[in-house]
Every structure is written in structure tokens, then in C-alpha cells.
Amino acid sequence: MAAPRPGNWRKHIAWQLQHRDRYQKQHFEGLILSYNQLLEKSNIVQLWRDKCDPYTPSTPSPPPEPVNVAKLQSRHQEKLTKLYQANGELAQEVFELCKEHKCKEVELKVTQSRLSELEVKLGELEAEREGLQERIDVLEKANCTVKEEYDALQQVYRSQWEQLLKKEVEGSELIQNFIDIKAQAAKDLNYLNEKSKRVKQKNLEKDLAVVSNVPILMDTDAVRQAQNVSSEEAGQQETKIFRSPRSFRSTSFSLPIHPKFLQSFKGIFSRKRASTSFSEVDCSPISFCSVARVPARVRHSLEAHDGEVNAVRFSPSSKILATGGSDRKVKLWDIVGGTLQNVKTLEGSNDGVTSIEFDPSGLQILAGSYDNTARLWSLKNCELKHTLSGHSAKVTAAKFKFYFREAVTGSHDRTIKVWDLNKAACVKSIHVPSRCSDIVCSDYFIISGHCDKKIRLWDCRSGIKTDEIPLQGKVTSLDINSDRTQLLSCSRDDLLKVMDLRMNEARQELRAEGFKCGADWTKAIFSPDGNYAVAGSSDGVLYVWNTLTGNLETSLVGQHRSSINAVSWSLSGEYVVSVDRTKVANLWTDC
């Protein structure tokens, strides 16, 4: 603080006083603080002394008052009365507790008697349980015996089924050879019947030429035939030994005894088929099950393709699995020890695969594609045999007919085409009112499902519609049982229907809480024995229904995290495979 100027004397005096006060206070500040601390300590010592000597009065006490005996007696009497009252209350409580104790004893005796009865009954139940356990052991032994017998019968059935399959293939080849022989016989007989007419015509032309002395121009074929007349007449007697003199009729067939006929039979039984290791695996006997086993858990899960998996199908032998996806590939998988192992990859498609079908022999695969075509691969050498092109929109379904020399395709271009697989040519085209989503077929009929919520039945020979079944939603898939008497349909109204083809009416409607059809191409199929139907939901849950009762058998949660597109059940009844939009394929088993 600066000193004021000399002219302002009042401020100068105040400044000197403040300076003196500040200077003197510095000397006595420590002393004042020490004094205050001593006062505090003195007060604390005084308080501690009062607590240690409570009988030392700080002030003199007044003299005691005289004792009043009457008041003391009245107080004593009041206390005594309260004690008597409390004693009575306690006695009442003791009485009530004794009474309650007796009741508890009675209840204890009843409980003990009940316990003894239960112990006796428990002993009886234990004895009964032991008897039932012995009966279970006997039944298990009997079940093992029956299972062994069943396995033996199944083995016999498999061998007979293998023989039947071979006989069917041989029979189809024999039929084709017989047809060829019949055509050749008809051609020979027609030639023989027309030969005499040709000889007469040539003789007449010669006579006319001689009479009129006019040269007649003859075609080279006629001249050649006239020159060969003598040789033909010379061998006519030999020909009559082997040929029938009757004219050829299309409604009846008589086999001529001809050396070509014997050579054809020799060719049939001496023909050797080329086979590779892959075809040998798939041509093993078909493991057909009499009762399908409902799947319970995922045995193996993997990413099958590089994109969405649209189709899946087991081979007739149940040993090879085929999957098709949006990565333009058809992959073949072998089931080894309950796991899927990639064996081959069939390439050649220019766009994603929509459907897959094995032929009854398991040696060929037919696949539809988004590139408006269907392709046929041979599994003997895994090479592309034919490309069936002719549709103007994507092919949603491609199926073999029962005898696998023909195939049927359905497309979004509103046509169904029948193909001759030997010539790779379309032999019939059926125009339909709506886009086709799926088809099933036999030798004489075709059933198609459409986006206009209808199922249509077609005569395969005439291409005429024979019946029509309306539904409440777009048809996404069709499947037919092994007896070809029941049809399974799946539609976008989240409903599966089982229809009797003999009566053309719905037999069961399959619904489930939580089931939702996820796409226009979601597939539902029958089990091999036809007793169950299986389909995948949009949330990745697999639903299995009992087609006999119409009830939901089970719903299975696996590794799927998106909509399930297709499902396949092996003919052996052992495996079920489901595929979804996120490349995942799950292999399901019953244990």
C-alpha cells in the first residue's frame, strides 16, 4: 500500500494507524493463539474430571426428603397385582400349549401309521418294479431277436430289389430291341410284298419298249433292282425258311426267325457296360425302407456352395447326395461315417441351378437352371451329355419320366415341354395359363403347380388338361408318393395339403404354429414310406408332419439361420438333408 500525498492529512493519519496495527499484531499473534489453545485444553481437562468423579457434586445437593410408607405400600401392591395378572396369563398359555401338544401327538401317531402303510406299499411297488424290469429284459431280448430277423429280411429285400432293378433295365433294353426288330421285320415284309409288283412293272416296261421301239429312261434304282431280281429269286427259297409269308400288321407282332434276331440277342447278353468307380458306388442296391425314421438331430453341418443352395436330392441308392446352388454348380456328396464329403462337381450351367433329379438307375442327373435350360449329366464319366434348350424363361422344374428315356421341364414362360433324351429334342410342348413353379410326372400324366394358386393335371399323350385343383396361395412345390396315389403340395398360405389322386380330393391339411413358407420355391416332400411330410420354414426350423393323422410330429432347430429352400429324404429312411439361403446344408439322423 503506497503512502498518501502530504496534502491529504486525514488519509495520512489513517494510513499510519493501519501500519502500526499491522506491525504490532505480528508480534502478539502467536501469543494469542497459544492462549486460546490452553483455554481449550483446560476445558477438556475439566470435562474429563467430571466424568471420572460423578459423585463429586459440582454444586451442593439439597437435604433428603422424609420417606412416605403409605406410598411405598401402594406401589408394592400395584406391582404385586401386575405379577398375579401376568402369572394367570402365563398359566392360560401353558394350558393351551398342553392342549396343542396333545393334538400334535395324535397327529404324530396318525402320520406314523400312514408312514408305515406307505412303507408297506413302497415295498410292494419295489417288488412290482423288479417284476417289470425282468419283463423289460425279456422284451429287450425278444426285440433283439426280432431286429436280427428284420435285418435279415431287409438284406433279402435289398438283394431282391437289386435284381428287380437290373431286370427292369434289361427289360427296357429288350423292349427297345424288340421294337427295332419289329420295324426291320415290317420293312423286310413290305419289301418282299412289293417285289412281285416291281418285277411285273419292269417286265411291262421292257415289253412296251420293244413293241414301240422307243427307249425308256429308267432311274438308276429301278435298274439296280431289276438287275438284282435274279439273285433275289435265287435266294427266295432260303428266305422263306426264315420269314413268315403273312403281311405285316401294326396291331399284332410275330417275331421272324432271322439270323439278325439271334445276333441281337447275342448282342444283348454279351454287351459290357463301361463303368467307373463312381458309377459302381451309385449302382449299389437301393436301401428302401418300409418305415421311415423321423430325424431328431443334426449329424453334420457345412457350407455346401459359394452362394444360396436351391436344390438337394438323394440318389436311388441313398449313398450319393446332389446339391445345386446359385454358384452354377451341381455338387455330388458321399456320406461317410455320418458326414458329407464332396466327391465330384458337375459344371456347365451358365446360371444358378433350380432343381435336381436322379434317374431310376442313379447314373444320370437332370438339373434345371435360371439360364432357361435343363442339362443332363452322365455319372459314369461326370460329363455333360445334353443341354435341353427351348424355354424363354427360367426352368423351375426338370423331372425324368418313369422310364427314363424322356424328361419333362416346367418354366416361367408358361410352357411344359416333354423331351426325348436320346435325341435331346422337344417332342411335345404344352401351353399353360400361368407360370409353372413345380411338376411331377409319370408315364401317362403330368401334374403342374402354378403361381395362379392352381394345380393342373395333364394327359401326357394328348397334352389335354384333365383336371384342376384350386388352392389358397401360390404353389411352391409338388411331390408324389412311391405308390403314385397321393400328391403333396406346399403353398404360400403356409399350408401343406395331401391329396388323393384316385378321388381328386384333399385328404389332409398340414399346419403348424410358427411354420411360414419362406419363398416361391420352398420345397416340401414325402418320406419314402409316405407316412410323413417334411418342409422347412422361413426361420430355419424343420417341421415334420404325420400324413396319416395330420398332426405335427416334431419341429427341429439346427444350424440354419435363414429360410430353408429344399429338403431330401433318403430312400433308406436313414438321413434327411436340408439346405438354406446361407450356403448351409444340414445332415439329420434319428439318433
Among candidates 522, 461, 513, which has minimal Cα distance to 489?
522
Q: What CA–CA distance (Å, rounded) separates 427 from 421?
A: 10
Q: Is 240 helix (H, G, I), strand (E, B) or coil?
A: helix
Between strands 454-459 and 445-450, the pairing is antiparallel
pLDDT for 121 equals 93
DSSP 4: P
Among candidates 473, 478, 504, which has minimal Cα distance to 489?
478
Q: Is the pLDDT reported for residue 79 higher than 60?
A: yes
- pLDDT band at residue 63 under the 50/70/90 scheme: low
Element (H, E) at 445: strand 445-450
The letter for the amino acid at 95 is: F
Q: Is the pLDDT reported for residue 257 higher than 50?
A: no
Mean pLDDT computed over 251-262: 37
Angle among Cα 491, 428, 443 to the nearest 5 degrees reads: 65
Q: Is the pLDDT reported for residue 274 higher than 80?
A: no
Phi, psi (5° rounding) for residue 76?
-65, -40
Q: Is the pLDDT reported for residue 228 higher than 50?
A: no
Least confident of 31-45, 46-60, 187-201, 524-538: 46-60
Q: What CA–CA distance (Å, rounded) separates 362 from 345?
A: 16
pLDDT for 3 equals 59
Q: Is the CB of residue 287 less than 8 Å from the CB of residue 571? A: yes
Q: Could you tell me which residue, 225 or 506, shows the higher pLDDT?
A: 506
Mean pLDDT computed over 449-475: 91
pTM of the model: 0.55
pLDDT for 288 equals 52
Among candidates 436, 434, 446, which has minimal Cα distance to 400?
446
Q: Is the pLDDT reported for residue 227 higher than 80?
A: no
Q: Is the pLDDT reported for residue 466 higher than 80?
A: yes
Q: pLDDT tens-digit profile of 112-157?
A: 999 999 999 999 999 999 999 999 999 999 999 998 998 899 889 8
Please state whether 414 falls in left (phi above 0), alpha (psi between -120 and 50) or beta.
Answer: left
DSSP 492: T
Q: Is the pLDDT reported for residue 49 higher than 60?
A: yes
What residues contact residue 419 under an 8 Å CB cut-off, 6+ apart? Answer: 374, 388, 406, 407, 408, 409, 425, 426, 427
Query: The cell 501500519 sits on which residue?
Result: 19
Q: Is the pLDDT reported for residue 48 higher than 80?
A: no
Q: Could you tell me which residue, 275 or 212, shows the higher pLDDT?
A: 212
Among candidates 415, 522, 422, 397, which has minimal Cα distance to 458?
415
Q: pLDDT tens-digit profile of 414-446?
A: 999 999 998 889 999 999 999 999 999 987 889
Q: Is the CB of residue 552 less than 8 Å from the CB of residue 259? A: no
Q: What CA–CA distance (Å, rounded) separates 247 from 232?
A: 19
Q: Is the CB of residue 549 less than 8 Å from the CB of residue 565? A: no
What residues contact residue 368 under an 8 Å CB cut-off, 6+ apart? Answer: 353, 354, 355, 374, 394, 395, 396, 397, 398, 409
- pLDDT band at residue 211 under the 50/70/90 scheme: low
pLDDT for 273 equals 38
Average pLDDT over all residues of the chain: 81
Q: Is the CB of residue 449 less than 8 Å from the CB of residue 476? A: yes
* Cell numbers found for residue 566: 429344399
Please state whether 546 falls in left (phi above 0), alpha (psi between -120 and 50) or beta.
Answer: beta
Please state whether 453 falls in left (phi above 0), alpha (psi between -120 and 50) or beta.
Answer: left
**Helical H segments across 215-287, by residue range:** 220-227, 229-234, 236-242, 259-270, 277-282
Query: The cell 411330410 sits on which residue?
Result: 533
The letter for the amino acid at 338 is: G
pLDDT for 251 equals 34
Q: pLDDT tens-digit profile of 284-319?
A: 444 455 578 899 999 999 999 999 999 999 999 888
Handedness of CA 334, 158, 534, 469 (dihedral sign): positive
Q: What CA–CA distance (Å, rounded) separates 9 from 3?
A: 11
The letter for the amino acid at 453 is: K
DSSP for 505-523, written as a single string = EEEEEE--TT----STT--
Q: What CA–CA distance (Å, rounded) separates 507 from 550?
A: 9
Q: pLDDT tens-digit profile of 350-373?
A: 999 999 999 988 899 999 999 999
Q: What CA–CA distance (Å, rounded) separates 408 from 420?
A: 9
Q: Could you tell me which residue, 432 or 264, shows the higher pLDDT?
A: 432
Mean pLDDT computed over 340-352: 92
Q: Could you tell me which residue, 179 or 523, shows the higher pLDDT?
A: 523
Share of the chain above pLDDT 70, in %: 81
Element (H, E) at 589: strand 584-589
Q: Could you tell me which residue, 94 or 437, shows the higher pLDDT?
A: 437
pLDDT for 4 equals 57
Among candidates 252, 79, 112, which has minimal Cα distance to 182?
252
| Helices 69-212 and 220-227: angle between axes, nearest 10 degrees | 80
Q: What CA–CA distance (Å, rounded) separates 425 from 417?
A: 10
